[in-house]
Amino acid sequence: MALSYLQSQSVPVSSESECGVEVTTSPVTKEHKPRTYPLILGIAALILSLTFMIFGAFYWKKCVRNADAGKRGSFSLKQLKVATDNFDPLNKIGEGGFGSVYKGRLPDGTLIAVKKLSSKSCQGNKEFVNEIGMIACLQHPNLVKLYGCC
């Protein structure tokens, strides 16, 4: 039988080759490639994108809320002097690019850290404002919460 004749047949034809292996032919049909892989990848990408957007929105909302909370607190210089014993050198706990940091205690007993901006600071106001903005947004066990400013 000719091969073209076998392809046009609708009934499977079986024959035994010289090696004893049975060979079966059936009508040739065009296979349609499944479109499930692109669909699954698209859905997975959509779910992943939505997850990142939701977590990003929660993080942004928390950051804005913390920044607003930092803006609400306002202390007078007199209150900070009382809390730090007039910026006593014994209460000095560190020094940074903008000035010294002092340990203090508010009248309600809350322990605070007060950063006293130095006039000798070689960094500008813009950098200081950026640092305060970052502290207001970040939460970490080694960072103190920003309560306010003077």
Q: What is the mean pLDDT of residues 63-92?
A: 77
**CA dist., res. 81 & res. 104, Å (int):** 9
pTM for the model stands at 0.47
- State the CB neighbour count (10 A cutoff) for residue 76: 9
**CA dist., res. 9 & res. 22, Å (int):** 18
Q: Which of 30-34, 44-48, 119-123, 133-137 has the lowest mean pLDDT?
A: 30-34
Question: Closest by alpha carbon to 130, among 95, 98, 99?
Answer: 98
pLDDT of residue 92: 92
**CA dist., res. 53 & res. 69, Å (int):** 24
Each domain of the chain, given as residue ranges in start order, spans 39-150
Q: What is the mean pLDDT of residues 140-150?
A: 77
pLDDT of residue 70: 45
CATH for the 39-150 domain, from 3.40.50.300, 3.30.200.20, 3.40.50.1110, 2.40.128.30 = 3.30.200.20
pLDDT per residue over 21-75, tens digit each? Answer: 565 665 555 565 667 888 898 999 999 999 988 888 877 777 666 555 444 577 8
92 assigned ligand-binding residue: no
> For residue 83, is pLDDT > 70?
yes
- Residue-by-residue DSSP string for the chain: --HHHHHH-SS-EEEE-TTS-EEEE----PPPPP-HHHHHHHHHHHHHHHHHHHHHHHHHHHHHHHHHHHHH-B--HHHHHHHTTTT-GGGEEEE-SSEEEEEEE-TT--EEEEEEE-TT-SS-HHHHHHHHHHHHH---TTSPPP--B-
